[in-house]
Amino acid sequence: MLKRSTFLLLCFLMIVVARAAQPENHRRQPLPISFSQEGGISSADGQLQLAHRLEKMGRFEAALQMYRRLFKEDPRDRGVLEGLERVLIQLKRYEELVSIGDSLVIQDRLDKAREIYERAKDLDPKLIPVASFRLAELYYFQGNFQQVKALCERLIKGSPQGDYVNDALGMILFLQENLSDARGRETDGRTALKAFAKAELFRRQRRYNDALAQLEGLMKDFPNSELVDDALFLMAEVEEEMGNYQDALNNYRRLISNHSSSPLRPESQKRIGEAYEKSGDLHNAIQEYRAFLLHFPESILAGEVRRRVQRLRDKLNGEKLIKGR
């Protein structure tokens, strides 16, 4: 019987001989990637190389996970983005292309986002509505309102029962209101609308201070514009997202007080009540909701506001009962 040491040596020699007999191009090549002392890949370049290698080996799910992580860490890396696109297309995950386009908009890479949306639309007919509306938004942000109108009209015609029809209709009406007068003639509101669209892009990109500065400039340069109430409303929303709730309330109140014909007054009054409700000030919330019902009883929002009032009353009465025990 062979000793254990002799047996192990023979096994090792057999492996060496077998590997030497393999053709050179059949041998497994080492990955050209360095590793850190902790055992992980030591650089982003190394991770990208590994993602490429996994992709070439047909391990698309593993490659996708790595590309996703790299894109999250550095969304501006061209190689990462191209690899992510390739793998998503290979796996037919076309809907994720739309999400990538959304990320590119936030990074202000609008031309690349447009390319991604167009590709998603071409690859999967089911994505035509969402990708088309995203494209319309891009053209809106860039001030190409004629192209926005054309895309929205095509979307409505091609998918009259689709999820984005109301959004497309709203976009067309908004353009008509701010680019034409009562007789449908084009006005000089294009410059103001471009400024407003830019502010909306800044908000989408979470560049909140830039958005506020843009809106302040719009109201200063175009004090008689039909967009002033929209600007105040958008400023209030931006302030809320920044956590500046008192400034948000002030802007909602300015809109209500200074723009008596604005269709945004009911929503602004409701937002004031909601702000107090979120802060836990239920008494003031009820008071603001009551002001809504007093001034806007015919609003389509009235039913919801009544239910809120009743719910807050029940909550306050329940708290009183608990305290009285």
Tell me whether residue 139 is in a domain. Answer: yes
Count of domains for the chain = 1
CB of 189 within 8 A of CB of 201? no
Query: What is the pLDDT, as a whole number, of residue 9?
Result: 43
Mean pLDDT, rounded, for 293-300: 96
Model-level pTM? Answer: 0.80
Residue 182, domain member (yes or no): yes
Residue 271 lies in a domain: no
Supply the range of the domain harboring residue 89: 66-74+81-187
**d(Cα 38, Cα 58) in Å, to the nearest integer?**
28
* Secondary structure class of 270 (helix, strand, coil): helix
Q: What CA–CA distance (Å, rounded) separates 287 from 156?
A: 41
| pLDDT for the residue 43 | 75
Question: Is 241 a domain residue?
Answer: no
Between CA 103 and CA 66 the distance in angstroms is 17
Neighbour count for residue 307 (Cβ, 10 Å): 11
Angstrom CA distances, 192 to 121, 152, 167, 185, stand at 31, 21, 21, 16
Structure confidence at residue 28 (pLDDT): 43
Q: Is 303 domain-assigned?
A: no
Q: Is 228 a domain residue?
A: no
CATH number at residue 134: 1.25.40.10
For residue range 48-87, what is the model confidence (pLDDT) as tens digits?
Answer: 899 999 999 999 999 999 999 999 998 889 999 999 999 9
| DSSP code for 22 | S
55 falls within a domain: no
Domain presence at residue 104: yes
pLDDT digit string, tens, across residues 12-58: 444 444 454 455 444 444 444 444 433 445 477 888 899 999 999 99
Contact 67, 51 (CB under 8 A): yes
Q: What would the mean pLDDT of 288-300 be, rounded to a whole number?
A: 97
